Amino acid sequence: MADWNAYYRNEDDDNEEKEEEQQDGEYKISGRDSTVFLVDASKEMFIKGEDGEPSNFDMTMQVVRTVYTTKIINNHKDLMALVFYGTEQSKNPRNSFKHVYVYHDLDEPGAKRVLELDSLRGEKGALLAAQTMGSGETSLGDALWCCANLYSDIKLRLAQKRLLIFTCRDQPHGDDTAKDRQARTKAGDLKETGVVIDLLHLTKAGGFDVSLFFRDIISQAENDDELGLQLQPCDKLEELQKRVWAKERKKRAITRFNLCLGEGLNVAVGLYSTMVTARKTAIRLYRETNQPVRSKTRTFHTQTGSLLLPSDIKKAQVFGKRQIVMECDEVTAIKKFEDPGLFLIGFKPMERLKVHHQIKPASFIYPEEDEVKGSSCLFSALMKKCKEKNVFALCRCTRRRNYSPRFVALVPQEEEVAEGKTQITPPGFNVIYLPYADDIRSLDPPRRPCATQMQVDKMKAIVTKLNFKYRCDAFENPVLQQHYRNLEALALDMMAPEDMEDLIMPKVDQIDRRLGILADEFREMVYPDGYNPESKPPAKRKPAATAGSAEKKPKVEVPEDELRAHVKNGTLSKLTVPVLKDACKQFGVRTTGTKKQELIEALISRLAS
């Protein structure tokens, strides 16, 4: 039974890793994500900030470009669109809306769109955009109507429909109440069709008041808690990028199940992956058409060659020198332990949870109010009490129907908000996967010389000097970043890829300044005199040749006259392959192969000429 458990557990771990890395099972079923950037093109957006800071329009274009390039790498199937309102020129699918300019239709982002965005950035691009776009009247209702037409023209299934409004005017229509009423009505129609409207308000002289107009425009269901947090407008590019990513980045649950707190007391939660390893993804293309290919696997009988159906395939396991044959349904029934869900076992003090208990990356659970009413309230109360009593909830977790159960620790996590009123960490429970008894091994480490107390104290001082606050999101993978920059340079016809700073390289000068003489003192205390860690190790001496060892044969060179005589008499085949190779090198004959016949033919053609 131990072999069976280990087999199933490893298989489940592999499946979980694939789910967390790809998460495309639900994506294929539900559809694609779509985002429309609705940008205010009024003259106020092109006013530069103090000390030469970029204008609101330039910051917005930089953020949109960043989203485009990131989507191309991560989710190239998602749909993006860029629409300007308040423009002098008009361009939309039906040309029925004045002062609305659809710069990009709702489609997959590509290199051409990135190049078109680059033409709107910088001083020349902003000047051109200000002359051609930022001088028309404003009708946000017409712009919202045009965005609704963009969504209606898409025949694909959409999982998420999001509309992001970038503006620095809290009253875009001034005192025109008719246009305000029209915009509110159209925003309501969009929200009824499932479009989530968010506001990215930018800096404005005198402050930006959301309550004057945009409170009735944005989606209240998503922003009830965020309205009070985002009263401050964005005035920095980094802050605007963080807000856009917080709204645009999809938050898909790996799975959804119930957290059972007792008999008949269930809380609907969604399980999320907080960290996924970034990897290079390769797509197989057909050589002639350069189109993606799909792989299809079929199973044939090894003796008859006939095609096997899924019902013809059986599974077997050797136990006690016997082969136990089972149907696929029987294997599925054996692997099923219980229905998916989290089942509360009890509570433990937080100090009982050790660092080495975390055997795999943690997950995160958040309540799903749409599944079970009242889940958010009960979930929040449970999290608050666990935080007050400094305990974690011990649960049994079954992620999928045929997955093996795991013991997990639910560690409460409170919400953290940055200075710009942007959420850094959401409230919820971190799911720590605990090991089984056979997952922990007792090792017998090799015996090493023990350090003295003085050496330990000196190393403690060095560690204290080099201590810093580590954040995983502050370091990027240099190999992946260089790969992405190379692809970007090829796609955008750039002369050279952008320079990349390798953040994982140690800062030697700063380390030397911090340590001072501590490193020299530690080296003198631990290592022998004259030790230099930067010196090269001595070269290994080659063993002396023994009497019985085979000596290297001398190089045999055949004169040209003798080779011509062999060619004339047809006796080149009597020469060995090494001799023929040396002859080819002697006369500058290039050969693609090492076969004897190929060498003979190459020499004959060379000497005959």
Q: State how far the Cα of 530 lies from the Cα of 392, in Å rounded to an integer.
A: 54
Q: Comparing C-alpha atoms, which of 127, 122, 212, 131 is closest to residue 167?
A: 212
∠ Cα 396 399 401 (to 5°): 110
Please indicate whether residue 91 is annotated as part of the active site.
no
Residues linked to residue 316 through DSSP beta bridges, in sequence order: 325
Cβ contact 197:163 at 8 Å? yes
Show the tokens assigned to 486.
Answer: 């190379």
Instruction: Residue count of the chain, please give it.
Output: 609
Listed in sequence order, the residues at least 6 apart from 511 whose beta carbon sits closer than 8 Å to its beta carbon are 466
Of residues 18, 28, 124, 315, which has the active-site annotation? Answer: 28
* SS3 of residue 319 by DSSP: strand
CB atoms within 10 A of CB 287: 7
Q: State how far the Cα of 15 lies from the Cα of 247, in Å rounded to an integer.
A: 29
- What are phi and psi for residue 196, nearest 5 degrees? -95, 120
Q: Give the 3-state secondary structure of 411-444.
A: EEECCEECCCCCEEECCEEEEEECCCHHHCCCCC
**DSSP string computed for 337-370:** -S-SEEEEEEEEEGGG--GGG--S--EEEEE-TT
**DSSP string computed for 210-260:** GGGTGGGTS-HHHHTTTTTT--SPB-SHHHHHHHHHHHHS----SEEEEEE
Q: Are strands 423-425 and 416-417 parallel, antiparallel or unpaired?
A: antiparallel
Query: Which amino acid type is present at position 576?
Result: T
C-alpha 287, offset from chain centre: 28
* SS3 of residue 593 by DSSP: coil
Cβ contact 438:2 at 8 Å? yes
Q: Comparing C-alpha atoms, which of 232, 87, 84 is closest to residue 165?
A: 84
Q: Comparing C-alpha atoms, which of 279, 281, 257 is closest to residue 268?
A: 257
Q: Comparing C-alpha atoms, which of 250, 229, 249 is closest to residue 241?
A: 249
Residue 513: in which H helix or E strand, if any? helix 508-515
Residue 568: in which H helix or E strand, if any? helix 560-569
Q: Are strands 391-398 and 423-425 parallel, antiparallel or unpaired?
A: unpaired
> Helices in 1-121 by DSSP H: which ranges?
2-22, 25-30, 56-74, 111-118
- What are phi and psi for residue 464, nearest 5 degrees? -65, -40
Residue 162: in which H helix or E strand, if any? strand 158-167
Q: State how far the Cα of 12 lies from the Cα of 9, in Å rounded to an integer.
A: 5
Specify burial of residue 235 (Cβ count, 10 A radius: 0-12, 13-18, 19+).
Answer: middle
Catalytic residues: 28
